[in-house]
Amino acid sequence: MDTNQIKVMPSPSDLMPDDFRKIGTDEKEAEVIARESISAWRDAWQRLCANKMAMTALIILGIIVLAAIFGPVISEWVHGYNYYSNDLLNTNQPPSAEHWFGTDDLGRDMFVRTWRGAQISLIVGLAAACIDLLIGVIYGGTMGYFGGRVDEIMNKFSEILYSIPYLLVTILLLVVMEPSLGTIILALTITGWINMSWIVRGEIMQLKNREFVLASRSMGAGSGRLLFRHLLPNAVGPIIVTVTLSVPNAIFSEAFLSFLGLGVQAPIASLGSMINDALTGWLYYPWRMLFPAAVISLTMLCFNIFGDGLRDALDPKLKK
Amino acid sequence: MKKNKSLLLLLTLVLAVGTLLSACGSNNDKNSASNGGNNTSNSGTNSGEEKLAADQTLKINLSAEPPTFDPAQAQDSQANTVLKTMYEGLARMNDNGEPEPAAAEKWDVDGTKYTFHLRKDAKWSNGDPVTAKDFAFAWERVLSPNTDPAPPYAYQLYYIKNAQEYNEGKITDFNQVGVKVVDDYTLEVELVSPTPYFLGLTSFYTYYPVHQSVKDDAKWAVDASKMIVNGPFTLTNWTKGQTIEVTKNENYWGKDNIKLSKISMSLVNSGATELASYKNGELDRTGHPNGEVPTDQIPIVKQELKDEFKVKGIASTYYYQFNLTAKPFDNEKIRKAFAMTIDRQAIVDKVTLGGQLPAFGFVPPGIKGVNDEFRNEVKDDFFTENTEEAKKLLEEGMKEEGYTQLPEITLTYNSSEAHKKIALAVADMWKKNLGVDVKTENQEWGVFIENRQNLNYQVARAGWTADYNDPMTFLDMWTSNSGNNDIGLKDAEYDKLINEAKTTEDNAKRNENFKKAEEILVKDTMGIMPIYYYTNIALEKPYLKGVSLDFSGGIDYTRAYLLEH
Amino acid sequence: MVRYIANKFFYMLVSLFILISATFFLMKAIPGDPFTSEKKVPPAIQERLYEQYGLDKPVYQQYIKYLGDVVQGDFGISMKKINQDVSDIIGQTFSASLKLGLVAIVVAVIVGVLLGMVAALYHRKLIDNIAMVVAVLGIAVPSFVIASLLQYVFASKLHWLPTMGFKGPIYYVLPVAALTAQPIAFIARLTRSSMLEVLNADYIKTAKAKGLGWMAILFRHVIRNGIMPVVTYLGPMTANIVTGSVVIEQIFGIGGIGKQFVEAISTRDYPIIMGITIFYGILLMLARFITDIAYVFVDPRIKLSGKKEG
């Protein structure tokens, strides 16, 4: 959004890159600068390790991911349950040794379903975040690097896209297309990448007037080299942070879509659709809501805390 | 939202048309009905112990806002509920499902000719008398090809002579239509053919009179202050999307029979919220037909609120239909194998939980036959559940088609919590019993209907409710040229049976034909796979009395009253 | 300034045009139409309906006609809600959403900023930790879960508040609480971090060194600079609250515009879908526009220019 760009608007400078003329290429000089970022990375890592909250969040996230991958396997192996088989004689059973998280309204084991749901939610979250990252970096990088007319047009386009009510696009899209995991991810990314592109654009615009870039350019580095070797590596901090925060956003959005009946196709479940299924009877079968809600909340929490920690670590000045 | 939305859509369709009437109808009833001033047949008057509450405001919820209060345009169950309080047709249905005098105080029936004698004390809410002209005006308005927008339910009047021709523009003079205003208080109606349930039809909203002032005002039914009605209540407040309120009409001729002073309707489309609200005392009644008790909570409220929990069978069937033109269900044996291998009792006991009846036929109980209910005269024993037999049939069917493995099968249903549960349970039974993997796919309502009507599915969920109280309403939809035949059934024998039934006046033969037709549909071709007969599930406060529910689930609140509590 | 606004306005019109076009064709791509029903209407009646509503014409003609009508400010009448003006429907249902949304925004900003300020002023103290735990919970728990919990506790169990409806001030409490949980959390975190930054800034130290009173520093410098990011967040938040209240409206039985929109999509009520989309679009653009202007007033470093405003 506008304000993002306003914030990172380049400080006025009399020297524009165009004022310089290419003289010749000197690879060695260019590489000297790259070294600095290595120590910055190490520095960031140390700072992150020192942040106990962030590390705890990371560990819990790791556990959730492992459980999402192996939980269903273990349960299938120990009890022989899977996420879709009904057991109509054992519907809505509370947690027990047999069913660690109880059973749902069709007698399906909640342990398997919760972790299977976490799997789906994480896939949705990560896939959406990756696509956002890819499009956002390319689009934002182009805008920021070339600036001028290109930037103006591309930026307007993203602004227009951003002003289309998101819910509307999503609902229309999901109704038009066959509901599937892919469609949901697509629906989530259709406007999701814009924020990323703005952040990348802002960073690049700020960076491209910095001395080291000017130096590299004056020594004859090409656009591609400048962009990928100098600009993007230096913008990686905010990019990573944005990714960490967009994963939980996507998971949440999917949960909302489930609430509106536009989520994943049964019997596959996401955490969101499980909570939605449990919502009408949760007073009587609290475990059906509790476990998926706890996992989704914990995931959100950890992604947010970790994202914050990462931001602090990568940009010690910008303690937001 | 999902579940309520589509359920509501289902309900809407199911009930809307459904309420179309149960006329009881013995053919030989040529007598004129007795004077209807005494509406004491219903619970109106009761033993002296009952004490009425001082505040007679009934609070209910509609899970969707009626799109219109113009009787000519209405086509859903929510509108039906509200319109019934605001308008009165020539006849109205009493508690026993029999038509009793309403705007008409008596009528004479002579074959296809009906003469209605209107009540002279009936008034519009603005004081004008209700005359035969108002009825003729309203019906002409419904049928006229110039009415904008075209009333979708105009075909409910096609029973009247030349009505269809006039509606389709084939004749342009309304005087040729079988509706004649003899004088202000006498209306003559000529039908196309003997229709035993026609009296019942006159209580349906498409037949309601409208005040002639609406002619010049397209928006008359949009604004609460403009509506002129002839029923027991008038519309006094309509805040779009929030509330609808009707208040007792002091100009109503039978106002002494009306005890409620006001009906206040909220418009909330969440079953869970509605139930919580009911439990909190904010509503006097919840559940069908205007809302829904969430399936998850049924077993609990059945226990907790035993005295308030009401279940009533309605004439409506839940079934899965096979696309007879798509692989692999173009094979009869494969269809039978699938139909025979699900456990219907388990579905109603463990999945739907609402006391529904497992169905093995298509015509539901509650539909009249010759002397008794059709279902009692013709048992629904067209097939049995038998997994061993089913496996054999499947094997044979696959051999016939040359399959070593079945093609991929998708079961489609419209998005709704209830349909989803049933679909998952059925797919699981198919997998366990037949070893067949069936994909389940939910589709948004409009998409679903479009796909089904275009035969773009393999096996799909469906439900059907009676339009009128006769097996015909369930069976004539499967003839080759019926617009509602969306399974691709083309059976000359079936068409012949139905056509005969439509023309014959011999009731026994008619019944026999229905029996044979249903046999073709279910036993021989298994084009549809019945699952259960619907029930109407509701919670009603013990102090609410006099609410009447008809055979197909339509609800009438006009004679309700509240006891002290 | 005039040029800036004119420029913005021009782009808003372009955006709106693209929005209308995209939605129109997307909407037409959805299978089914307003007159699709399970029990089929006779073909003759169906055709007449198509004709009366202009659905018998090619899509591009319908599109051109619609554009023409909209330019004249005519949003048409609903195809399902017989003879009801789209603008009336939007007006009536939006009033509920707007009231709820405004209250929610005000509550979110006040509570969020206060929470964040307190946390920042008592940095690393117990209050700070408590405030941040609350904030983090608000972000972590889905709002429909919060809504259901609130409804159960305060309406069903304690009977303090009504379960559903929207008839008076008391009906606002639960929906507003559920609706603001997330924005409050977000605002509190924003405020806290930016205030911390400001508190450590050199000019505050200078002000302190000058001997300026603590209160004066707080109000003159810290708050003004500290809530800047909150202003940034106002635009998106307004949009989120106003458009995203569908779920909350449903749980608490409030007939808002969100419910109307979802309903219109499912009944294929084309004029209402378009009307609400345009309405939402304008709302969103205005919110962003106002945010930009507000930002200029709050942050003196930013100057308006028609060109590089991005």
CATH number, position A247: 1.10.3720.10
Residues of C in contact with B446 (CB under 8 A): 30-33, 36, 266-268
Q: Tokens representing A122?
A: 């994480």
Task: Give B323's Cβ-side CA count (13 Å radius).
Answer: 19
DSSP string, B107-145: EEEETTEEEEEE-TT-B-TTSPBP-HHHHHHHHHHHH-T
Number of residues that make up chain A:
320
Q: How confident is the model at residue A50 (pLDDT cuts 50, 70, 90)?
A: confident
Arithmetic mean of pLDDT, B415-432: 92
| Structure confidence by residue, pLDDT tens digits, B344-358 | 999 999 999 999 999
pLDDT (tens digit, 9 = 90+) per residue, B193-243?
A: 888 788 888 999 999 999 999 888 888 888 888 899 999 999 999 988 889
Which one of B479-493, C28-42, C108-122, C250-264 scores highest in mean pLDDT?
B479-493
Q: Token pair of C119, please? A: 């946390």
* Interchain CB distance below 8 Å, A266 and B420: yes
Looking at residue C298, its pLDDT comes to 66
Helix (H, G, I), strand (E, B) or coil at B92: strand
Band of pLDDT at residue A4, cut at 50, 70 and 90: very low
Contact: A2, C291; criterion CB under 8 Å: yes
Q: Nearest Cβ partner of C253 from B9, B221, B266?
A: B266
| Chain A touched by B294 (CB under 8 Å) | yes
- Considering only residues B263 and B34, tell me which one the structure prediction assigns the higher pLDDT: B263
Q: Measured between CA atoms, how close is A172 to chain B, in angstroms?
A: 11
How confident is the model over B312-332, as a mean pLDDT? 94
Q: Is residue A92 part of a domain?
A: no
Chain A residue with minimum CA distance to C191 = A320
Q: What integer pLDDT is reported at residue B197 of this predicted model?
A: 81
A306 neighbors A54 (Cβ within 8 angstroms):
yes
Residue B387: predicted pLDDT: 93
Which tens digits make up the pLDDT trace of C49-73?
A: 999 999 999 999 999 999 999 999 8
Whether A280 and B6 lie within 8 Å, measured CB to CB? no
Backbone angles phi, psi at B102, to 5 degrees: -135, -100
Q: Which two tokens stand for residue B474?
A: 């369930």
Residue among B69, B89, B80 nearest B134 (CA): B89
Quote the tokens at residue A221: 């580095």
Domain map of chain B by residue range?
70-234, 311-535
Residues 219-248 of C with CB under 8 A from B: 246-247
Residue in A3, A165, A256 nearest the CB of C284: A165
B346 contacts A261? CB cut-off 8 A: no
Output the pLDDT for position A123: 93
Report if residue A226 sits inside a domain: yes
- Give the pLDDT confidence of B496-512 residue by residue, as tens digits: 999 888 877 788 898 99
C97 contacts on A by Cβ (under 8 Å): none
Measured between CB atoms, does A280 come within 8 Å of chain C?
A: no
Burial of A313 (0-12, 13-18, 19+ CB in 10 A): buried
- 8 A C-beta contact, residue A314 and residue A44: yes
What pLDDT sits at residue C217? 78
User: Over the stretch B22-39, which tens digit does the pLDDT of each residue have?
Assistant: 333 333 333 333 333 333
Q: How far is CA B437 from CA A268, B167, B339, B432, B433, in A?
A: 14, 49, 15, 9, 11
Q: Which fold has domain B311-535?
A: Dipeptide-binding Protein; domain 3 (3.10.105)
Residue C137 has pLDDT above 90, yes or no: no
**Could you report the predicted ipTM of this complex, rounded to two decimals?**
0.82
Written as one string, the DSSP assignment of B148-176 is SSPPGGGGGGTTBTTHHHHHTTS---GGG
> What does the buried/exposed string (b/e) look like for A81-113 if buried means 16 or more CB atoms within 10 Å of the residue's CB?
bebbbbbbebbbbeeeeebbbbbbbbbbbbbbb
Q: Report the C-alpha gap between A275 and B273 in whole angstroms.
A: 16
d(C-alpha C136, C-alpha C140), whole Å: 6
Which of B513-522, C28-37, C108-117 is predicted most confidently? B513-522
Q: How far is CA A264 from CA A120, A270, A277, A300, B429, in A?
A: 9, 7, 12, 20, 22
What chain C residue is nearest to A159 in terms of C-alpha separation? C15
Q: C163 near C155, Cβ under 8 Å?
A: yes
Print the domain residue range for A124: 40-84+114-314
Environment class of C254 (CB within 10 Å of its CB; exposed 0-12, middle 13-18, buried 19+): buried
Q: Partners for B (CB, 8 Å, 3+ pairs)?
A: A, C
Over its C-alpha atoms, chain B yields an Rg (Å, rounded) of: 24
A2 vs C140: CB contact, 8 Å cut-off?
Answer: no
Domain ranges of chain C: 99-268
pLDDT at position B430 is 95
Cβ C145 vs Cβ A294: under 8 Å:
no
CB A164 to CB C236 under 8 A? no
As a whole number of angstroms, the distance between CA B438 and CA B451 comes to 18
Average pLDDT over residues B391-420: 92
Find, among A203, A1, A158, the residue nearest to C237 by Cα.
A1
Q: How far apart are the first and last CA of chain B?
A: 34
CA distances, C69 to each of C28, C65, C72, C260, C274 (Å) = 18, 6, 5, 22, 12
Q: Is A316 within 8 Å of chain B by CB?
A: no
Contacts of C196 (CB under 8 A, 6+ apart): A319, C120, C123
CA of B514 to nearest chain C CA: how many angstroms apart? Answer: 21
Residue scoring higher pLDDT (B451 or C125): B451
Q: Which residue of A has its CA nearest to B346?
A: A88
State whether B272 and A280 contact (CB < 8 Å). Answer: yes
User: Do B120 and B132 form a contact (C-beta atoms < 8 A)?
Assistant: no
Are C288 and A1 an interchain contact pair (Cβ–Cβ within 8 Å)? yes
Whether residue B5 and residue A261 make contact (CB cut-off 8 A), yes or no, is yes
- In the chain, the amino acid numbered B300 is I
**Which of B295, B350, B444 is closest, CB to CB, to A175?**
B444
Question: Helix, strand, coil proportions of chain B in percent (round to 5)?
Answer: 35, 20, 45
Mutate to test the interface with B, among C38, C150, C245, C246 (most CBs of B within 10 A): C38
How far does the CA of residue C59 sit from the closest CA of chain B (Å)?
19
Q: Which residues contact C40 (CB under 8 A, 6 or more apart)?
A: B453, B483, B484, C46
Top pLDDT among B400 and A257 is at B400
In a domain, A195, yes or no: yes
CB B27 within 8 A of CB B198: no
Distance, in Å, from the CA atom of A310 to the CA atom of A240, rounded to the nearest integer, reads: 8
Q: What's the pLDDT score for residue A6? A: 38
CB contact under 8 A, C163 and B282: yes
| Tokens standing for residue C217 | 């520093």
Q: Does residue A251 lie in a domain region?
A: yes
User: CB-based contact (8 Å) between B443 and chain A?
Assistant: yes
Q: Could you tell me which residues come within 8 angstroms of residue C176 by beta carbon, excluding any fewer than 6 positions away? A: C100, C103, C104, C107
- Find out whether B2 and B417 touch, Cβ atoms under 8 Å: yes
pLDDT of residue B118: 95
- Interatomic CA distance for residues A254 and A189, integer angstroms: 11
Q: Is A172 on the interface with C (CB under 8 A)?
A: yes
What is the DSSP code (8-state) at residue A92? Answer: T
Mean pLDDT of B310-339: 94
What is the per-residue pLDDT for B486?
92
Residues of B in contact with C81 (CB under 8 A): 65, 67-68
CB–CB contacts below 8 A, B to C: 160
What pLDDT does A238 receive?
Answer: 78
Give the integer Cα–Cα distance in Å for B373 and B389.
31
- Count of domains in chain A? 1
B30 interface with A at CB cutoff 8 Å = no
Mean pLDDT of A233-256: 80
Residue C214 has what pLDDT?
Answer: 75
Residue A204 has pLDDT above 50, yes or no: yes
What is the distance in angstroms between the Cα of B272 and the nearest Cα belonging to chain A? 5
Contact C141 A297 (CB under 8 A): yes
Q: Chain B: residue nearest C49 by CA? A: B150
Q: How many beta carbons lie within 10 A of that of residue B257, not counting itself?
A: 17
Phi, psi of C295, deg, nearest 5: -60, -40
Residues of B in contact with A262 (CB under 8 A): 2
Q: Considering the domain boundaries, does residue A6 fall inside one? A: no
With residues binned 3-state (H G I as helix, E B as strand, rest as coil), the percentages for chain A, rounded to 5, are 75, 0, 25
Q: Are A314 and A237 within 8 A, CB to CB?
A: yes
Q: How far is B299 from chain C (nearest CA, A)?
A: 19
DSSP state letter for C14: H
Contacts B277 to C, Cβ<8 Å: 162-164, 253
The domain B70-234 having CATH identifier 3.90.76.10: the answer here is: yes
Give the pLDDT of residue B287. 93
Q: How far is CA B152 from CA B68, B79, B434, C18, in A?
A: 13, 14, 44, 35
Query: C12, C139, C302: which to substitute to probe chain A, counting the most A Cβ within 10 Å?
Result: C139
Instruction: Using a pLDDT cut of 70, give the percent of chain B over it.
Output: 91
Classify burial at B481, counting beta carbons within 10 Å of its beta carbon; exposed 0-12, middle 13-18, buried 19 or more: exposed
Residue B127: the pLDDT is 93
C-beta pairs of B172-180 under 8 Å, 24+ apart in sequence: B174/B140, B174/B143, B174/B144, B177/B139, B177/B140, B177/B143, B179/B135, B179/B136, B179/B139, B179/B140, B180/B136
Q: Name which CATH class applies to C99-268.
A: mainly alpha
Q: Dihedral through CA C92, CA C95, CA C101, CA C106, nearest 10?
A: 180
Q: Is the pLDDT of residue B425 over 70?
A: yes
Task: With CB atoms and an 8 Å threshold, state whether B1 touches A277.
Answer: no
Which of C8, C30, C144 is the best substitution to test chain A (most A C-beta atoms within 10 A)?
C144
Nearest CA-CA partner of A4 in A200, A192, A161: A200
Q: What residue in B sits closest to A283 (Cα-Cα)?
A: B297
From B446's Cα to the closest Cα of chain A, the distance in A is: 9
The predicted pLDDT at position B22 comes to: 35
Lowest mean pLDDT among A132-141, A201-210, C96-105: A201-210
Q: Is the model's pLDDT at B448 over the cut of 80?
A: yes
- The mean per-residue pLDDT over the stretch A269-283 comes to 85
Q: Sort residue C27 into left (φ over 0), alpha (ψ -120 to 50) or beta.
A: alpha
- Select the residue of B6, B424, B441 nearest A86 (Cβ to Cβ): B424
- In tens, the pLDDT along C195-243 reads 887 777 777 778 778 877 777 777 777 777 777 777 767 776 777 777 6
User: What per-residue confidence (pLDDT) applies to A201?
Assistant: 86
Q: Give the residue ranges of DSSP H helices in B60-106.
A: 77-86
How far apart, in whole angstroms, are the C-alpha atoms of residue C200 and residue C226?
11
Q: How would you classify the pairing of strands B357-358 and B528-540?
A: antiparallel
CB-based contact B280 C251, cutoff 8 Å: no
DSSP B33: P
Q: Which residue of B has its CA nearest to A171?
A: B444
